[in-house]
């Protein structure tokens, strides 16, 4: 739980320095490249997350790498802050959370849509328009398949789940009948 709070806090801090969509995309792509370099190489990852190497030596190594890649100043500062605070290992999780945080900042609702079968492009578009009309804000959807569903959809927005499946409807009907 504490780790999730830290990931969100650092991610939110990073998002707050970005102003435009193009800037977000450029910075995120650059940050993903550096994270891939830092965490994709086992030896480098072990060195940068090792408790036996001083923060200063880690920072020097990271500065050298970022100087060669001509990393954006904001990315440099962010990565060096993570190193200084002993939170460098959170970088991949922060990266995963950045699109959601950006959507929150720009007023876009992010929803996960789970269905038993793939939805057609027309169905996706109609669902998006319906959700945008209900929410009064732009909606970005992520689609997933769950063959266990009997039919219908499960919509998730953060921690809120809307069960619009056949099984969910039958369960609600059973509960109503049990009450009477």
Domain boundary among 104, 126, 151: 104
Residues 97, 117, single domain; the answer is no
Residues 145, 157, single domain; the answer is yes
More confident residue, 167 or 82: 82
Residues 12, 90, single domain; the answer is yes
**What pLDDT is attached to residue 171?**
80
What stretch of H or E contains 25?
helix 21-40
Domain boundary among 104, 128, 148: 104
pLDDT band at 2 (very low <50, low <70, confident <90, very high): confident
Cβ proximity of 78 and 59 under 8 Å: no
Residues 17, 76, single domain; the answer is yes
Which of 122, 120, 140 lies closest to 131, judged by CA? 140
**What pLDDT is attached to residue 54?**
87
In the predicted model, what is the mean pLDDT of residues 32-60? 87
The answer to whether the pTM exceeds 0.75 is no
In the predicted model, what is the mean pLDDT of residues 46-58? 86
**What pLDDT is attached to residue 15?**
93
Residues 99, 12, single domain; the answer is yes
Residues 46, 94, single domain; the answer is yes
Measured between alpha carbons, how far is 66 from 34 in angstroms, rounded to an integer?
Answer: 8
Measured between alpha carbons, how far is 114 from 152 in angstroms, rounded to an integer?
Answer: 9
Does residue 90 surpass a pLDDT of 90? Answer: yes
Q: Which long-range contacts (CB under 8 A, 24 or more apart) does 78-81 make?
A: 78/10, 78/14, 78/31, 79/34, 81/10
Digit-coded pLDDT (tens) for 124-171: 999 999 999 998 889 989 999 988 887 889 999 878 888 888 787 778
**What pLDDT is attached to residue 79?**
92
Residues 99, 137, single domain; the answer is no
Residues 100, 121, single domain; the answer is no
Domain boundary among 88, 104, 120: 104
Digit-coded pLDDT (tens) for 103-131: 889 888 889 999 988 999 999 999 999 99
- CATH number of the domain at 43, please: 1.10.520.20
Query: Could you give the number of structural domains in the chain?
Result: 2
Domain span at residue 37 reads: 2-104
**What pLDDT is attached to residue 91?**
93
**What pLDDT is attached to residue 81?**
92
Measured between alpha carbons, how far is 152 from 149 in angstroms, rounded to an integer?
Answer: 7
Residues 100, 122, single domain; the answer is no
Q: DSSP letters along 49-107, please?
A: H-TTS-HHHHHHHHHHHHHHHT--HHHHHHHHHHHHTT-GGGHHHHHHHHHHHHHHHHT
Share of the chain above pLDDT 70, in %: 99
């Amino acid at each position: 739980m504490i780790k999730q709070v830290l990931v969100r806090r650092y991610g939110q801090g990073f998002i707050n320095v970005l102003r435009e969509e193009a800037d977000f995309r450029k910075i995120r792509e650059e940050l993903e490249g550096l994270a891939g370099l830092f965490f994709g190489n086992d030896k480098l990852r072990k060195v940068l997350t090792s408790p036996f190497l001083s923060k200063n030596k880690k920072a020097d190594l990271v500065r050298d790498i970022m100087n060669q890649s001509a990393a954006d100043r904001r990315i440099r500062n962010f990565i060096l802050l993570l190193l200084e605070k002993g939170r460098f290992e959170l970088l991949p999780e922060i990266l995963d959370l950045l699109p959601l945080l950006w959507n929150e900042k720009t007023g876009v609702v992010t929803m996960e849509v789970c269905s038993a079968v793939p939805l057609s492009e027309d169905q996706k578009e109609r669902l998006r328009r319906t959700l945008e009309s209900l929410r009064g804000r732009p909606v970005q959807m992520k689609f997933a398949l769950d063959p266990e569903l009997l039919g219908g959809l499960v919509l998730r927005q953060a921690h809120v789940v809307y069960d619009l499946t056949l099984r969910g409807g039958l369960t609600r009907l059973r509960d109503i009948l049990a009450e009477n």
